Structure 1
Amino acid sequence: MTETDPPRAGAHESDRHPFETGLDRNPANYVPLTPVSLLARAAASVGGRVAIIDGARRLTYADLYTRCRRLASGLARRGIGRLDTVAILAPNVAEMIEAHFAVPMLGAVLNPLNTRLDPATIAFSLDHGGARVLIVEAEYGALAARALADRAGPILVVEIGTSGIAGAVPYETLLAEGDPAYAWPGPADEWQSLCLLYTSGTTGDPKGAVYSHRGAYLQALGNAVTFGFTAESAYLWTLPMFHCSGWSYPWASVAACATQICLRKVEPAAIFALIAEHGVTHLCGAPIVLSMIAHAPASDRVPFRQRVRCAVGGAAPSSTIIRTMEDLGFQVTHLYGATESYGPATVCLEQPDWADLPDDDRYARMARQGVALATLEAAIVADPDTDQPVLQDGLTVGEICLRGNTVMKGYLGNPDATARALAGGWYRTGDLAVWHPDGSVEIKDRAKDIIISGGENISSLEVEEVLMRHPAVMLAAVVARPDATWGESPCAFLEMKPGATAPTDRELIDFCRERMARFKVPKTVVFGPLPKTSTGKIQKFVLREQARAL
């Protein structure tokens, strides 16, 4: 029985166990977990340390805490309170970090919006999430104006810079209205909703994953420990903060009292320059970001002395990318997760004996999705039909399932989708994987991306890995194409490196035949730019349609 359980029928206080008597919660020994407390601690302990570098701006932890309290107070004075939604449309600027603390301070819910979406989708998110405030940075003023024209109902618009939206309140004016000593209430309960993150749905409307204060706090600690953050760390924002709340790194960086360096636009020249100027030690990104860095022209590259830890999520990086990144001074770590898991859920932990492996074998190990973060309860590979864990033999395929405090509360206003995603007490990722004897998981494909050719299962990821070893290939995506003989056959879409000459179909097929089983070799090859989502992921559903039309 816990303190919240009802007493047993007929039970008296004297019947309670000694460990349940006189040991109740009170403010001295129980405070709801919230990432906001991480900022309060940092301001109190290292207030003079630089927390944020944003161009020429420098904010210390004391500055950051004061500005967040002013923003929370200013919103409160304009009628915003507990569980009200505050949306923000902005690039990776200091104000985006401030919003990740100020809005939860108030007990309100932050809704970071994807700046790459169309006005109609943004309007849907504002309506569905019930946004009462929209904070918009000047660069996205026109986009916000079009989105607001597509929706009805009042909303307070707060502009960072000059957005051009009539009636917008300047961000700094709102801060000036606020109390720098604001006694923020925080959450009434650590299960209280903190963030609303919309997934970029490929069919139908986006789904809004809801985070809790408890989950965000624990994910911050899990990220900090996993990525080796310390107070000496300098984290470069190459990952958009609107994506899974920047994989929860706004909170993780503050948990470690690290410095966050803002970057409005991901450009290799700017990345190299900032790494060298500010001694960057950590950065994150999708595989496309690593590809941009790895293939940056020599004129964009600036030498730096430190080793930079680089976490990559999404599809596993190819061995070619890992090799190039290491040569440039980066240490690549593969993370795996989803919007529904606050970003990273598993990490590929490098083992001491990997150093003795041949490079190709070591890179293959590094590309695994790995094991659960310390703050995730469990990550397993289960048989989708029986829900039982598969053998840890590295061969049996099942679905990756996650469980723990860093799994979303559910999808806002969508109980059916929530029930499906969290069925059986696990978050069903939809990713097919094997489970290795050392406990690490390795994705073989999305369930919908497996190619079945002549009764044989072909992993599109395996074929893509081989294709990206070709010296001219920068990105590869493989999907199923209808085949009269085999049912399906692999169709490869390839994007070439800048300045590279595309090989002929025959040259590429011969290249593959030397490196994989013949039945896995693509029977069709298409050259050209690959369609990508707003977060840089390749849109395979678009390519499947193109393959069917060939």
Structure 2
Amino acid sequence: MRIPLSVLEFRDRAAALFGNVEAVIDGDRRFTYAEYAERTHRLANAIRGLGVAAEDRVTFISYNCHQLLEAYYGVLEAGAVLNPVNIRLAAPEIGYIIGHAGSTAVFYHADFRPMVEAMQADLPAVKRWVVMESPIEGPATHEYEALLADASPAYDPPEVDEDAMAELFYTSGTTGKPKGVVLTHRNLYLHGLAGALALRMTDADTMLHVVPLFHVNGWGAPHWMTMMGGRHVMLRKFDPGALLRLVAEHRVTYLLAVPTIFNALVNSPELGSHDLSSLKMAIIGGAPASPTLVRTIEEKLGCQAIVGYGLSETTPILSLAWPRAVLTAAEAPEMSAARQAMTGYAIAGVNLRVVDAEGADVLPDGEQIGEIVARSNTVMEGYYRDPEGTAEKIRDGWFHTGDMATIDEAGYISIKDRSKDIIIRGGENISSVEIENAFASHPAVLEVAVVAAPDDRWGEIPVALVVLKPDAAATAQQLRTHIRTQLADFKVPRQIEFRESLPKGGTGKILKAELREPFWAGRAARVN
């Protein structure tokens, strides 16, 4: 028997086995799995009623909220493709994504009305603009709750092609423009199974959605958490105090977040004011974490903490740094603790290697550095409308991550550097080339290089090294003001240094490694 793989099965399972169980908590709103399933059916029928055809892209511009969690199933049930976008991007960046995706409908939270108004005229292909948590006004053609109220609750399961695109996530790349990562129904389904197994979830668990649902498939949580019948608690905006209160109030057991968020938690003055005894596990991902942070999380939050690793292109989880019993029994406690801060070892269903420039495996000695390559059913179908970019990343049956690492005799990987010029600030990917292009549009700029520098709060920050044209003048503040018209604020370098020239290689390429090195002097690794 061969049945097409579809994550809709996860929701259907939850509704059948855990229908009366509280499934979603979003502020004052509460939904059981039966109610949640019905809302996703209504959303699917409403989307069809809007004229959205099979395989059309549907964009969501939203915080973590029950509506976006509903979209993870309702959009797919309608036969369409879900495209959640990063709300931290500037209007021109989001406009580019919507245009490149070819979305025909956009759902947006009312808070983002000014952004929608700024880009609506440039997106004539979008026929429907659906506002959430606001009456119809301004650019909106429909209102979310009214759409659901008028739609049928009937479940009309679509015919699923498991190899067809189901979700489309955009990630920053070294080309400067975001790349659309195509995830198929098969990718999502197999990642959901692997994620639940790897994270050891049960129906008794409650997860707080700290990781944005627009970020790398929400780390898969909408799928594996629903499949297991666990409880979703939504966090719309990060605030340490609010997060701690939700953990205590709803007895949260799992926290998944980037290092900067955990760092804020362990240093929050409210930490001692809340009962966090329900916490079982903290998973740190999105950027490398230090052993000190892992140890501090365990001490202050009172739960186990490990590092995880993955990318948008891999749905995303590739590895987790779980302790292994045979190693823990044989090694000193210090080594066991250190392993929890490593990139980890491959989860079930994933094959990872670390290879040199010729594609040969590096020595498993924890010293020789190579590139992490991955092979799995959870690796993306490819980049949307970008066959050249796809061919560059998937070669000889392996996905090339661009992350440089070592591997030891036990299979634990540790990221040491990056071969791509991506800066990871608080878990957000920032393209250095995109920033450079913004600087280059200033009439006084001759050339510029943007590199990553370590930062205690954000992990990494962009630093711009600028050469002005002869007889031209511009201050750092003037340059920042200029590029803010093109970039999201978190991408704008706070540190700008003026140089007489930039070092170049024989081909004329700027030597970024040479420019980057002084900022990392004295550090063992070139990621933070």
Q: State the TM bucket, normalised to the shorter chain.
A: 0.7 to 0.9
Q: In the alignment, which residue of structure 2 is the partner of 1:336?
A: 309
Map 1:520-535; keep pairs closer than 5 Å: none
Superposed CA deviations along residues 51-91 of structure 1, whole A, max 9, x for unmatched, are 10011111111001111011101111222121100000000
Confirm or deny that 1:310 pairs with 2:282: yes
Deviation at 1:151, TM superposition (A): 2.9
Confirm or deny that 1:52 pairs with 2:18: no
Superposed CA deviations along residues 80-111 of structure 1, whole A, max 9, x for unmatched, are 12110000000000011100001111221000
- Tell me, in whole angstroms, the C-alpha distance in 2 between the residues paired with 1:294 and 1:538: 27
Deviation at 1:492, TM superposition (A): 6.1
- Tell me, in whole angstroms, the C-alpha distance in 2 between the residues paired with 1:272 and 1:355: 34
Contact 1:272 1:300 in 2 (8 A): no
Contact 2:241 2:270 in 1 (8 A): no
- Give the SS at the match of 1:394: coil
Does the C-alpha gap of structure 1 residues 449 and 178 become closer, same or farther in structure 2, counting only changes over 3 Å? closer
- Tell me, in whole angstroms, the C-alpha distance in 2 between the residues paired with 1:102 and 1:406: 22
- Tell me, in whole angstroms, the C-alpha distance in 1 between the residues paired with 2:125 and 2:294: 49
Larger Rg: 1
Confirm or deny that 1:283 pairs with 2:224: no
After alignment, is 73-82 or 356-365 more displaced?
A: 356-365
Deviation at 1:300, TM superposition (A): 7.2
Q: In the alignment, which residue of structure 1 is the partner of 2:155?
A: 182
Q: In the alignment, which residue of structure 2 is the partner of 1:169?
A: 142
Deviation at 1:203, TM superposition (A): 4.2
Confirm or deny that 1:365 pairs with 2:339: yes
- Tell me, in whole angstroms, the C-alpha distance in 1 between the residues paired with 2:383 and 2:262: 31
Q: In the alignment, which residue of structure 1 is the partner of 2:375?
A: 403
Confirm or deny that 1:192 pairs with 2:145: no
- Tell me, in whole angstroms, the C-alpha distance in 1 between the residues paired with 2:454 and 2:308: 25
- Give the SS at the match of 2:104: strand
Superposed CA deviations along residues 182-227 of structure 1, whole A, max 9, x for unmatched, are 312141x211110000003354211000000011011111111111
Confirm or deny that 1:201 pairs with 2:173: yes
Does the C-alpha gap of structure 1 residues 420 and 251 become closer, same or farther in structure 2, counting only changes over 3 Å? same
Q: In the alignment, which residue of structure 2 is the partner of 1:22?
A: none
Q: In the alignment, which residue of structure 2 is the partner of 1:104?
A: 76
Confirm or deny that 1:123 pairs with 2:89: no
Question: Letter of the aligned partner of 2:22 in structure 1?
Answer: V
Does the C-alpha gap of structure 1 residues 210 and 311 become closer, same or farther in structure 2, counting only changes over 3 Å? same
Superposed CA deviations along residues 354-401 of structure 1, whole A, max 9, x for unmatched, are 37866653332112112212132x11111222x122222222221100
Confirm or deny that 1:245 pairs with 2:217: yes
- Give the SS at the match of 1:248: helix
- Tell me, in whole angstroms, the C-alpha distance in 2 between the residues paired with 1:303 and 1:534: 36
After alignment, is 333-342 or 202-211 more displaced?
A: 202-211
- Tell me, in whole angstroms, the C-alpha distance in 2 between the residues paired with 1:344 and 1:535: 28
Q: In the alignment, which residue of structure 1 is the partner of 2:396?
A: 424
- Tell me, in whole angstroms, the C-alpha distance in 2 between the residues paired with 1:295 and 1:208: 36
Deviation at 1:438, TM superposition (A): 0.8
Contact 1:71 1:102 in 2 (8 A): yes
- Tell me, in whole angstroms, the C-alpha distance in 1 between the residues paired with 2:371 and 2:330: 31
- Tell me, in whole angstroms, the C-alpha distance in 2 between the residues paired with 1:309 and 1:538: 34
Confirm or deny that 1:374 pairs with 2:383: no
- Tell me, in whole angstroms, the C-alpha distance in 1 between the residues paired with 2:9 and 2:39: 15
Alignment partner for residue 142 of structure 1, among 106, 109, 114? 114
Does the C-alpha gap of structure 1 residues 225 and 144 become closer, same or farther in structure 2, counting only changes over 3 Å? same
Q: In the alignment, which residue of structure 2 is the partner of 1:475?
A: none
Does the C-alpha gap of structure 1 residues 410 and 307 become closer, same or farther in structure 2, counting only changes over 3 Å? same
Superposed CA deviations along residues 504-531 of structure 1, whole A, max 9, x for unmatched, are xxxxxxxxxxxxxxxxxxxxxxxxxxx9
- 5+ unaligned residues in a row in structure 1: which ranges? 1-28, 451-459, 462-478, 480-489, 498-530
Alignment partner for residue 212 of structure 1, among 184, 194, 197? 184
Deviation at 1:319, TM superposition (A): 2.1
Does the C-alpha gap of structure 1 residues 448 and 126 become closer, same or farther in structure 2, counting only changes over 3 Å? closer
After alignment, is 115-124 or 292-301 more displaced?
A: 292-301
- Give the SS at the match of 2:396: helix
Deviation at 1:541, TM superposition (A): 11
Does the C-alpha gap of structure 1 residues 75 and 51 become closer, same or farther in structure 2, counting only changes over 3 Å? same
Does the C-alpha gap of structure 1 residues 354 and 494 become closer, same or farther in structure 2, counting only changes over 3 Å? same
Deviation at 1:448, TM superposition (A): 5.0
Deviation at 1:30, TM superposition (A): 2.0
Q: In the alignment, which residue of structure 2 is the partner of 1:347?
A: 320
- Tell me, in whole angstroms, the C-alpha distance in 2 between the residues paired with 1:159 and 1:347: 38
Contact 2:393 2:399 in 1 (8 A): yes
Alignment partner for residue 243 of structure 2, among 247, 254, 271? 271
Contact 2:131 2:143 in 1 (8 A): yes
- Tell me, in whole angstroms, the C-alpha distance in 1 between the residues paired with 2:67 and 2:489: 20
- Tell me, in whole angstroms, the C-alpha distance in 2 between the residues paired with 1:549 and 1:322: 27
Task: With the length of structure 1 as denominator, give the TM-score of the two structures.
Answer: 0.76
- Tell me, in whole angstroms, the C-alpha distance in 2 between the residues paired with 1:540 and 1:320: 26
- Give the SS at the match of 1:198: strand
Deviation at 1:294, TM superposition (A): 1.4
> What's the RMSD between the two structures over aligned residues?
3.1
Contact 1:50 1:60 in 2 (8 A): yes
Contact 1:159 1:171 in 2 (8 A): yes
Q: In the alignment, which residue of structure 1 is the partner of 2:502?
A: none
Map 1:3-152; keep pairs closer than 5 Å: 29-152=1-124
Question: Letter of the aligned partner of 2:307 in structure 1?
Answer: H
Does the C-alpha gap of structure 1 residues 237 and 298 become closer, same or farther in structure 2, counting only changes over 3 Å? same
Contact 2:103 2:126 in 1 (8 A): no
- Tell me, in whole angstroms, the C-alpha distance in 1 between the residues paired with 2:262 and 2:274: 16
Matched residue pairs, number?
Answer: 449
Does the C-alpha gap of structure 1 residues 310 and 535 become closer, same or farther in structure 2, counting only changes over 3 Å? farther
- Give the SS at the match of 2:414: strand
- Tell me, in whole angstroms, the C-alpha distance in 1 between the residues paired with 2:265 and 2:488: 19
Alignment partner for residue 325 of structure 1, among 288, 291, 297? 297
- Tell me, in whole angstroms, the C-alpha distance in 1 between the residues paired with 2:391 and 2:177: 17
Higher relative contact order (CA 8 A, sep 6+): 2
Does the C-alpha gap of structure 1 residues 495 and 435 become closer, same or farther in structure 2, counting only changes over 3 Å? closer
- Same amino acid, percent of matched pairs: 33
Contact 1:312 1:334 in 2 (8 A): yes
Question: Letter of the aligned partner of 1:99 in structure 2?
Answer: A
Contact 2:105 2:126 in 1 (8 A): no
Does the C-alpha gap of structure 1 residues 167 and 492 become closer, same or farther in structure 2, counting only changes over 3 Å? closer
Deviation at 1:295, TM superposition (A): 1.2
Question: Letter of the aligned partner of 2:116 in structure 1?
Answer: A
